[in-house]
Amino acid sequence: MTDTTAPAASEILTDVHQGVGRIRLNRPKALNALTTSMVAAVDDTLATWEGSPLTAVVLSSTSAKAFCAGGDMRAIRQNVLAGDAEASERFFATEYRLNARIAEYPVPVVALVDGICMGGGLGLSVHGRYRVVTENTVLAMPETALGFFPDIGAGYFLPRLPGALGMYLGLTGHRLDAADALYTGLATHFVPADRVHLVPEALAANPHTPVDTVLKDLGDGSVVPRSRLAAVRPEVDRAFGSPTLAGIRAELRRLDGAWAAGALATLDAVSPRSLEITHALLTAGRDRTLRDCLAADLRLARTTIVQPDFLEGVRAVLVDKDHTPVWQPA
């Protein structure tokens, strides 16, 4: 093994073993919430490895609870309050550069999404070729509840999910389990949590076997429960396929069932401004490249983080945790 592991205090741990590069996110107490230095370290590592004869790169976590809870939004809010919005802009620019690198990486990137994966965590995983989930996986893009918007290229990948699933997930922040993640296509493989740690070694031991085959073998025929999201798919497509936010609300009222009532209540609870931004972003993203979407994300992030709804949303959810935000009109 060629060990390039940084000191224990490092935010990421890296090594290369028999042609497989491994990057482990290492802020377990913060559920691997991403900092500028953390995303820069991952990006620098991938850049360094681009010229190496690797067969795959595996992204995982040292946390037993989370793959990655997303960007450190509390720090971003604090930067703005301290009059240093530029520091937060640097974070987003660095993060989006990393998202593009993962999407364009010359060898397969395999994300082991065991546990919580939200916001920026999807940016680290969904742009790679393979996304492995376990029975512990929870995926979400919860940004509208924070007065923000689904960034990290979500304007590209959410509109490309089947039917209106992407619009539903982006506007509501609905949480997906492993079955839902596989159903939507946000995940590609299921491996039980007690076997997922075997992925890097299995890839290293089988360099001439397709990655897809190695991951399926590790799944060992595991049966994943039926997706709960699949059960309401007709309602999702009918309501969230509407071309306007007003139309979405009207369809939800017409459906008049438990799922529709819950979705409507969620839309009423999150930031009205974030809903407007997200709907426009996902609609435009259907005709944009990933890099175009990331560029749009950066422009929007610059203006959104200084708005009252972002400061209030992060306060209510992540700082004071009273979950009673007072939103501005859209």
Three-class secondary structure of residue 14 per DSSP: strand
In the set 70, 71, 128, 155, the catalytic residue is: 71
Cα distances (Å, whole numbers) of residue 78 to 74, 202, 306, 319: 6, 43, 11, 10
Give yes or no: 71 in active site.
Answer: yes
Closest CA to 294 of 162, 120, 38, 73: 120
Closest CA to 141 of 158, 129, 156, 128: 158
Give yes or no: 262 in active site.
Answer: no
N-to-C CA span, the chain: 55
CB 288 within 8 A of CB 155: yes
In the set 43, 143, 180, 297, the catalytic residue is: 143
In sign, the C-alpha dihedral spanning 36, 38, 42, 47 is positive
Give yes or no: 170 in active site.
Answer: no
In the set 11, 95, 151, 180, the catalytic residue is: 151
Report the number of secondary-structure helices (H) and strands (E) in the chain.
16, 10
Q: Give one DSSP letter per residue of 97-166, joined into a string.
A: HHHHHHHT-SS-EEEEE-SEEETHHHHHHTTSSEEEE-TT-EEE--GGGGT----TTHHHHSTTSSTTHH
Give yes or no: 120 in active site.
Answer: yes
CB 163 within 8 A of CB 235: no
In the set 21, 70, 119, 120, the catalytic residue is: 120
As annotated, the active-site residues are 71, 120, 143, 151
